[in-house]
Amino acid sequence: MAGRRVVVFPSSAELGPVLAHLVTSRAEKAIASHGRFTLGLSGGSLVSMLRKELLALPQPDCSKWVIGFCDERLVSFDDPESTFGLYQNQLFPKINIPESGILTIDSSLPVAECAEDYACKLKQVFPGEEFPVFDLLLLGMGPDGHTCSLFPGHPLLEETKKIVAPISDSPKPPPQRVTMTFPVVNAARCVAFVSTGGSKATVLKEVLEGGKASPYPAARVAPTSGELFWLIDDPAAAALTIQVERPGAGAKL
């Protein structure tokens, strides 16, 4: 791992623009180095933050972006729980991401087949790679320490072969989902967690200060050779005692 950076902002108003710059700067770097930018998105609170911040920027050229989902809920795209549905309604058409560059699940399939089908789609986009290497994965963390749809104590945490796994007993609704596995998350060139709000403070302390013994899935994210950022706000950081970065206005990562 290139080293973990824990970066704290007074609120999401200061965090958001730095996140947007991280996305566009990693996009430019990836396109210059290998001709495309592969981005994995999470759902939850990240969706509205990305929409607000990316739409506030001068329009980025997204013609070489390829978007996947770190996890997705097995519901139809018009269901408010669908992560793709939310991004499609709020963001994608507004930044001209080509439809062919958005890798969606087939929500009509049973969950195990849906995961296999999604894994095949990823393999086609990352041919010859045992585990897809995304340029950037944006992750969230629930108040129980889950990330993607990898929940505390679940057998999926031990998955070492599959790149996408089905889950049909998610403790957070909806119960049926598909998720990237840790080997994919930890193969990425850059991973950025975005975690805001006081409801995350206790678990965030355990995740960031609990060491290797931490039972929380988010604590297992440690890219093999990629960068790892934790972008958090003051309420989420309230219980931390580790040294953190507190960038000034206009900071870039």
Ligand X SMILES: O=C1O[C@H](COP(=O)(O)O)[C@@H](O)[C@H](O)[C@H]1O
Q: How far is the CB of 85 from ligand X (least distance, A)?
A: 13
Q: What is the DSSP string of 15-65?
A: HHHHHHHHHHHHHHHHHHHHS-EEEEE--TTHHHHHHHHHHHSS----TTE
By beta-carbon proximity to ligand X, the closer residue of 38 and 170 is 170
Residue 63 and residue 72: Cα distance in Å, rounded?
A: 23
Q: Least CB distance from residue 248 to ligand X, whole Å?
A: 26
* Angle, CA 41 vertex, CA 8 and CA 39 arms, to 5°: 100
CB of residue 218 vs ligand X: minimum separation in angstroms?
A: 9
| Interacting residues toward ligand X by CB under 6 A | 42-46, 70-71, 139-142, 149, 172
Q: Which is nearer to ligand X, 142 or 226 (CB)?
A: 142
Closer CB to ligand X, 31 or 222, in the complex: 222
Q: Which is nearer to ligand X, 36 or 172 (CB)?
A: 172
Token digits of residue 149: 């749809």
| DSSP assignment letter at 102 | B
Our CB check for ligand X shows the closer of 178 and 187 to be 178
Contacts of 4 (CB under 8 A, 6+ apart): 222, 228, 229, 230
Least distance CB 137 / ligand X (angstroms): 11
